[in-house]
Chain A
Amino acid sequence: MKKNILSIISFLTVSVVLFSACDKDDGKPVVYYQTQDQMARPAINTVFVDAAEKDVFNTTTPSAQGAAFAMKFKNKLLALNPGYTTNLLGLDATAFTNVLATDVLTGSTTGVTTFYDGTNVLTGRALADDVIDVELILIFGGPMATMNPGLTSDNVGTNDKAFLTSFPYLATPH
């Protein structure tokens, strides 16, 4: 506890020396940090955003992404898969890209957390989830996940190291 207080004090002292901006409320120095990169659902930017706009997407706050990107996502989806009708979730191109364009990762606080496990959809992202296959199925697989079979799996289904069952869950480094 004492050590914590000391380190907080030294942190603040250094900050006072380095920065002149002051908080109106209590006179303590305020340091601000600005978004450089951002992500939620895997590979969304990779797949749906044009090269010239990748940094823009990465710095557009999620509540503003839908209005700015939904139509562009729809165009990209139909360019990738001109035969798109609906997908396994029953979403047409407009509905699907409206969901994707607001890039947040939903996590259930009451049940199973998985990107997709055959039953639960977008309730989290677990380490072993094959998220790329899920996205490929939703983009290319059609309403029954049976269309474009060469495009609905990258044929890499597991990690190269086993995950841990307890914290911190990720495998030791190579």
Chain B
Amino acid sequence: MKLKRVLTIGLASAGIITAGILFAADHIDSPAVTNQSTDITDIYVFRGQDQNNLVFVANTQGLLAPGATAAAAFDNNTVIEFNIDNNGDAVEDLVIQGISSGGKMRIYGPIKPSETGNRSRLEGNPTAEVAITPYGSSPSIATGVGGIKVFAGPRDDPFFFDLNQFKKVIAGTAPSFNKPGDDSFKGTNVLSLVVEVPKSLLNATTGKVNVWVETKKKI
């Protein structure tokens, strides 16, 4: 118990110290949103356990120390939006949107957006809604229209990477990586939105989709 507490405090302080310096795959690259609820850390796209489905993962608010995770929350004024291009022109043909409200994550889409680009509105009617899983609870999972599945809440940051040494290499101040490297994200959490969608809802006639995630704030 004591050891655990010491470890937790140690990790929490490490998190506080590093949070100002570090950011994951995208943590480092967004000065305007650093340490805000809109800061995206990563996106993943992979086929589900049911191979008829594609899974979309958006992680935000990286480098949460365990002691800071319970207090982390999705922002009710921020839409997390998966943009899906299914014809190869890098313009979104479908969006999947998530926005939190009253402790729930509400999902819209996949649906054709009424406009493309940097400005969005919530499209159509909600297609799923899930209670946001509190820190320490087992995952709350909901199934919505068309069989889409949703989870929202804190998870382990799945990213692994020696970011500190990477920055030195890129900056030209280190000649090579260390062996072994040091995972800058071990022991840290993120706020995750996971949406699993039947591929049949994606109109992917070319056999592939191009995906990117955006956080969009109410204007």
Interface residues of A (CB under 8 A from B): 4, 7-8, 11, 30-40, 42-43, 45-47, 49, 51, 54-55, 57-59, 61-63, 65-66, 80, 102-114, 123-127, 130-132, 150-151, 153-161, 163, 165-174
Give the complex CA separation of A62 and B39 in angstroms: 18
State whether A32 touches B121 (Cβ < 8 A): yes
State whether B194 touches A46 (Cβ < 8 A): no
Q: Jot down 6 A-B pairs with beta carbons below 8 A, ordered by A.
A: A37-B32, A38-B215, A109-B204, A125-B44, A150-B175, A167-B48
0 or 1 for each of B96-123: is its CB under 8 Å from A? (1 = yes): 0000011000000000000011111110
In the complex, the chain A residue whose C-beta lies closest to that of B44 is A125
B176 at the interface (CB under 8 A from A): yes
B86 to chain A, nearest CB (A): 9
State whether B156 touches A170 (Cβ < 8 A): yes
State whether B30 touches A55 (Cβ < 8 A): yes
B141 at the interface (CB under 8 A from A): yes
State whether A104 touches B90 (Cβ < 8 A): yes
Interface of A is mostly: loop
A138 to chain B, nearest CB (A): 15
B148 to chain A, nearest CB (A): 11
Give the complex CA separation of A8 and B129 in angstroms: 11
A127 to chain B, nearest CB (A): 5
State whether B183 touches A156 (Cβ < 8 A): yes
State whether A173 touches B154 (Cβ < 8 A): yes
B26 to chain A, nearest CB (A): 4
State whether A34 touches B46 (Cβ < 8 A): no
In the complex, the chain A residue whose C-beta lies closest to that of B165 is A154
State whether A124 touches B45 (Cβ < 8 A): yes
Chain A residues closer than 8 Å to B1, beta-carbon distance: none
State whether B156 touches A173 (Cβ < 8 A): yes
0 or 1 for each of B35-60: is its CB under 8 Å from A? (1 = yes): 01011101111111100001101000
A72 to chain B, nearest CB (A): 14
State whether A33 touches B120 (Cβ < 8 A): yes
State whether A36 touches B46 (Cβ < 8 A): no
Chain A residues closer than 8 Å to B217, beta-carbon distance: 33-34, 36
B151 at the interface (CB under 8 A from A): yes
0 or 1 for each of B156-168: is its CB under 8 Å from A? (1 = yes): 1011111001100
B9 at the interface (CB under 8 A from A): no
Known: A124-B47, A155-B179. 12 other contacts (CB 8 A): A35-B119, A35-B214, A37-B38, A105-B43, A106-B208, A108-B47, A132-B161, A154-B177, A159-B158, A160-B160, A167-B149, A174-B69
